Amino acid sequence: MKLVVKILKNLPFRCSQCGKRYKQKANLNRHLRYECGIVPKYKCPYCSHMTKRKFSLKMHIGVVHNVVVDCDSIQ
């Protein structure tokens, strides 16, 4: 139980819509603007994976498919 309390103290910013917690307010604001309640719109050209942000898709393609992609080329 101590570990859970310690983790929650380190994540003081909580989304009122979905409950996700963040260490920094800027990350919560990004979550609210671009992620929470938003349907993923970026689809991986190599598989069925979908993301809400271009950068997340770029990271997915690089890690899973070992392909380097520029965010500007993602549509």
> 19-46 pLDDT, tens per residue?
999 999 999 999 999 889 989 999 999 9
Determine the residue type at 17: Q
Strand duo 21-22 + 50-51: pairing = unpaired
- Contact status, residue 54 vs residue 74, Cβ threshold 8 Å: yes
- Contact status, residue 32 vs residue 15, Cβ threshold 8 Å: yes
d(CA 53, CA 35): 8
d(CA 27, CA 2): 25
Domain spans in the chain, listed from the N-terminal domain onward: 2-34, 42-73
**pTM, entire model:** 0.66
Fold of 2-34: Double Stranded RNA Binding Domain (3.30.160)
d(CA 74, CA 71): 5
Q: What is the pLDDT of residues 1-22, one digit of tens each?
A: 555 555 566 889 999 999 999 9
